[in-house]
Chains A and B, each alone.
Chain A
Amino acid sequence: MLNLVISLNFAVIFKKFAMPQLSSILCSLLLLLFFAQASHAEPADKRMLVASTTQIADFARQITGDLWMVKSILAPGADPHTYQPTPADVQIVLAADLCLENGLHLEGKSWMATLAGDSGKPLVTVTRGLAPLEIHANGQSIADPHAWFSPANAALYVNNIVQALVEFDAAHAEEYRARATLYLQQLRVLDAWIRAQVNRIDPQRRILVTTHDAFNYFCREYRFNADNDYLSIAPVGWSTGSEVGAGMTPERRREVVASIKEAGAPAIFVETTINPKQIREIARETGVKIGGELYSDSMGPPGSAGEAYIGMMRENVLLIVQALQH
Chain B
Amino acid sequence: MLNYLDQTFQALADPSRRAMVERLTRGPASVSELAEPLPMSLPAVVQHLQVLEASGLVTSQKVGRVRTVTLQADVLRQAESWMVAQRTLWERRLDRLGDLLAEISEEERL
Partners in one complex: no
Identify the B interface with A (CB < 8 A).
none
